[in-house]
């Protein structure tokens, strides 16, 4: 199952403000993108893009159980996270040929 996670944080809570190697960044964003964390949570990031100036990140993630998403977003739980089930449009369109 695919889900879109729309993550938004405020400027004063920006993860990169302390630097990309800072403990706050490593404990949140770097952890979120680590293979170990994907294995531990059972959630894999399929794709992710950011709107840096808008302090917003859009992730497409895949999991076999939506309950696992609660554990997955734990590192970034102190910000706004909207989770929506989605479908792979590229795959759906390829079925029409
Ligand atoms: Zn930010």
Query: In order of start, what are the domains of the chain with their CATH numbers?
Result: 2-94 (3.30.70.1060)
Q: Please calculate the CA angle 81-48-68 and round it to the nearest 5 degrees.
A: 50
| Under 8 Å between Cβ of 86 and 71 | no
**Residues with Cβ within 5 Å of ion ligand 1?**
14, 55
pTM of the model: 0.89
Q: 36 by DSSP, 3-state: which?
A: helix
Nearest-angstrom CA–CA distance, 25 and 22? 5
Run means of pLDDT, 10 residues per run, the chain, 97 residues: 97 87 89 96 97 96 96 94 95 79
pLDDT tens for 58-77 read 999 999 999 999 999 999 99
CA of 43 to the centre of ligand 1 (A): 23
CA of 17 to the centre of ligand 1 (A): 7
Strand partners, 51: 56
The residues, any chain, with a CB within 8 Å of residue 2's CB and separated by 6 or more, are 46, 60, 61, 62, 85, 86, 87, 88
């Amino acid at each position: 199952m695919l889900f879109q996670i729309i993550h938004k944080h405020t400027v004063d809570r920006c993860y990169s403000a302390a630097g990309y190697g800072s403990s706050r960044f490593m404990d949140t964003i770097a952890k979120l993108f680590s293979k170990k964390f994907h294995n531990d949570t059972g959630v894999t990031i399929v794709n992710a893009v950011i709107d840096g100036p808008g302090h917003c990140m859009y992730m497409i993630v895949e999991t076999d159980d939506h309950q696992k998403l609660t554990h997955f977003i734990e590192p970034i739980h102190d910000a706004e996270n909207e989770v929506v089930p989605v479908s792979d449009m590229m795959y759906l369109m390829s079925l029409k040929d």
